[in-house]
């Protein structure tokens, strides 16, 4: 909600800001004129100020019903307590503050009914009268003197970013980057690319996501001066391949994307992994930005810099997940929980598995909080989803900061449940389970395994089975041969010297990495959990 004295630039700034966000722009003065069928000076002359204020109240209520939107209010609109209450209830109050001389230089060319006669004297008196009210309502104050319309709009946007998002900083040896979490914040990636100096970007996404978000986002980014190259790939785990990566390389090269450009990944874990792999290897590395649209990607896959593709092994054994990859950190991550509204419920449930994992390995209180709010989270309550994503990102960021490249073993705790999960996905041809569903099964199996070798407290498996079950996730192995699962586990990146190693939870909220477990024990537990002999 932009407000301020007449001539402060509310309309011009509002139009610019709306373009940068891809939102509608609403000007209450124009709504008044449309309702009255005549310009504001004639309303004052023919009907009086009282009639204008009545129309203005109606216009404010109409503008408040347009969401999301950038709204510019007349200079006196917020002086009315009823108008102020309506406006404050539906958006941030931004005061565009201008000094008297600036106001006069802009207002002199227009017919301002309240400034007729002694222009300077009337303006000074009215500005002095309204300033206390402007100051009282302001959540954000931007001084417009000496700034262009574009500069003011970007300054407003920078201020709003701090208020509209929960930002978690991820620190790694090479620097740090923000993960912004909020509702309706996808267009804010334009600000990140602008700050990075990116003028051309490959936007990697699926055709469906391009229709839902990508085409609109491309227009927004063009408003920031970024030339967007759409690169569309099919959905599904099969897209994470060297063959697809080569096709993406060719499209980027054909569009003349150079090392000053960026790859922007709009999608879930598959798009994020492929995008990170391409960004880290194309021209030996270009900038990378993540726009995760699934819960699993928002809380886990988009953070930490691990990116990889699957590779099919000889002998018909199927593709090995994430066998070839790089560590390539994004420059920024924008996690917009509004995109989760278009996510199928099954995928939302799958994302909750990673949230349960983070609680199990690092924060028992978060695990309990997630369990308590399951119904509302599955109902996509935005404020709770923002809280959930931000808290999970903070856990992931803390682990990554200690061990970016898994050199010390600390980061391996994030793989709790994943050794079994990756084997299960591969053994079923990546056609039966979503990744989060496989992780849910894997956590229960590995908790039982931890109990068998005396590492895990007896309650761990019981609690996880209960929470995951209430989230609607599977907790039992299918009738896949145990030996098939073990054969895929031998290819797990944590295996050393032919021995299977696991990250196990010893008690809820605490895990240990690098626990060696004999194959015969693993096989026995797998069979007890439902795997075929």
Report the C-alpha gap between 63 and 47 in whole angstroms.
Answer: 23
Q: Is 10 one of the annotated active-site residues of the chain?
A: no
Report the C-alpha gap between 415 and 102 in whole angstroms.
Answer: 59
**Catalytic residue (choose from 10, 422, 494, 501):** 422
**Catalytic residue (choose from 10, 130, 180, 306):** 306
Report which DSSP code applies to 481.
Answer: B
**Catalytic residue (choose from 62, 159, 164, 406):** 406
Q: Do residues 527 and 482 make contact, with C-beta atoms less than 8 angstroms apart?
A: yes
Q: Do residues 290 and 385 make contact, with C-beta atoms less than 8 angstroms apart?
A: no
Nearest of 440, 434, 423 to residue 523 by alpha carbon: 423
**Catalytic residue (choose from 206, 358, 362, 396):** 396
Nearest of 273, 268, 271 to residue 296 by alpha carbon: 268
DSSP sequence for 395-446: HHHHHHHH-TTSSSSGGGGGGTTHHHHHHHHHHTTTSS--HHHHHHHHHHHH
Torsion of CA 341, 399, 320, 267, to 10 degrees: 20
Q: Do residues 41 and 181 make contact, with C-beta atoms less than 8 angstroms apart?
A: no
Q: Is 38 one of the annotated active-site residues of the chain?
A: no
**Catalytic residue (choose from 331, 347, 354, 387):** 354
**Catalytic residue (choose from 411, 494, 501, 512):** 411
Strand 25-27 vs strand 70-72: parallel, antiparallel, or unpaired? parallel
Q: Is 406 one of the annotated active-site residues of the chain?
A: yes
And the tokens for 395? 């856990």
> By three-state DSSP, how is residue 83 classified?
helix
DSSP sequence for 285-335: --EEEEEE-SHHIIIIITSS-EEEEEEEPGGG--EEEEEEEEE---SEEEE
Report the C-alpha gap between 299 and 269 in whole angstroms.
Answer: 10
**Catalytic residue (choose from 130, 358, 362, 418):** 418
Nearest of 316, 505, 516 to residue 429 by alpha carbon: 316
Strands (E), 64-134: 70-72, 94-97
Q: Is 354 one of the annotated active-site residues of the chain?
A: yes
> By three-state DSSP, how is residue 183 classified?
coil
Report the C-alpha gap between 61 and 66 in whole angstroms.
Answer: 9
**Catalytic residue (choose from 83, 310, 322, 415):** 415
Q: Which residue has the tokens 């192995």?
A: 477
Q: Is 284 one of the annotated active-site residues of the chain?
A: yes
Q: Is 510 one of the annotated active-site residues of the chain?
A: no
Neighbours of 57 (CB within 10 A): 17
**Catalytic residue (choose from 10, 391, 435, 501):** 435
Report the C-alpha gap between 399 and 34 in whole angstroms.
Answer: 57
Q: Is 106 one of the annotated active-site residues of the chain?
A: no
Q: Is 374 exposed, middle or buried (0-12, 13-18, 19+ CB in 10 A)?
A: middle
Q: Is 256 one of the annotated active-site residues of the chain?
A: no
Q: Is 396 one of the annotated active-site residues of the chain?
A: yes
Q: Do residues 446 and 416 make contact, with C-beta atoms less than 8 angstroms apart?
A: yes
Report the C-alpha gap between 23 and 250 in whole angstroms.
Answer: 34
Active site residues: 284, 306, 354, 396, 406, 411, 415, 418, 422, 435
């Amino acid at each position: 909600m932009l407000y301020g004295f007449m001539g402060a630039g509310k309309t011009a700034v509002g139009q610019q800001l709306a373009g940068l966000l891809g939102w509608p722009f609403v000007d209450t003065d124009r709504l008044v004129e449309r309702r009255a069928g005549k310009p504001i000076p004639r309303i004052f002359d023919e009907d009086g100020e009282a009639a204008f204020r009545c129309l203005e109240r109606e216009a404010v209520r109409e503008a408040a019903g347009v969401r999301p939107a950038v709204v510019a209010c007349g200079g006196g609109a917020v002086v009315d307590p009823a108008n102020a209450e309506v406006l404050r209830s539906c958006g941030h109050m931004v005061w565009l503050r201008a000094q008297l001389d600036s106001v006069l230089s802009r207002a002199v060319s227009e017919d301002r009914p309240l400034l007729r006669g002694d222009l300077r004297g009337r303006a000074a008196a009215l500005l002095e009268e309204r300033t206390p009210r402007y100051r009282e309502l302001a959540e954000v104050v931007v001084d417009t003197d000496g700034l262009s319309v574009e500069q003011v709009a970007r300054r407003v946007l920078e201020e709003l970013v701090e208020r509209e998002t929960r930002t978690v900083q991820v620190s790694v040896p090479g620097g740090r980057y923000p993960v912004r979490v909020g509702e309706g914040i996808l267009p804010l990636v334009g600000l990140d690319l602008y700050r990075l100096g990116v003028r051309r970007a490959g936007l990697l996404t699926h055709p469906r996501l391009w229709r839902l978000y990508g085409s609109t986002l491309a227009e927004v980014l063009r408003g920031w001066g970024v030339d967007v190259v759409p690169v569309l790939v099919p959905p599904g785990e099969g897209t994470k391949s060297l063959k697809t990566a080569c096709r993406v390389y060719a499209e980027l090269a054909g569009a003349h994307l150079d090392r000053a450009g960026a790859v922007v990944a709009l999608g879930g874990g598959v798009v994020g992994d492929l995008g990170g792999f391409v960004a880290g290897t194309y021209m030996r590395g270009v900038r990378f930005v993540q726009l995760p649209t699934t819960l699993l990607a928002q809380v886990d896959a988009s953070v930490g810099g691990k990116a990889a593709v699957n590779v099919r092994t000889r002998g018909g054994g199927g593709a090995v997940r994430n066998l070839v990859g790089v560590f390539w950190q994004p420059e920024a991550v924008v996690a917009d929980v509004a995109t989760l509204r278009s996510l199928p419920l099954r995928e939302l449930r799958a994302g909750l598995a990673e949230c349960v994992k983070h609680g199990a390995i690092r924060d028992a209180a978060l695990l309990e909080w997630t369990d308590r709010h399951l119904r509302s989270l599955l109902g996509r309550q935005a404020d709770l989803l923002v809280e959930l994503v931000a808290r999970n990102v903070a856990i992931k960021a803390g682990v990554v900061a200690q061990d970016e490249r898994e050199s010390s073993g600390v980061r391996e705790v994030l793989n709790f449940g994943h050794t079994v999960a990756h084997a299960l996905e591969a053994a079923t041809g990546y056609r039966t389970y979503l990744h989060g569903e496989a992780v849910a099964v894997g956590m229960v199996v590995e908790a039982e395994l931890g109990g068998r070798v005396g590492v895990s407290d007896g309650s761990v498996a019981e609690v996880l089975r209960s929470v995951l079950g209430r989230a609607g996730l599977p907790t039992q192995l299918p009738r896949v041969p145990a030996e098939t699962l073990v054969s895929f586990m031998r290819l797990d990146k944590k295996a050393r010297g032919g021995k299977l190693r696991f990250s196990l939870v010893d008690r809820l909220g605490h895990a240990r990495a690098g626990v060696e477990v004999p194959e015969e024990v693993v096989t026995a537990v797998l069979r007890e959990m439902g795997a075929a002999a």
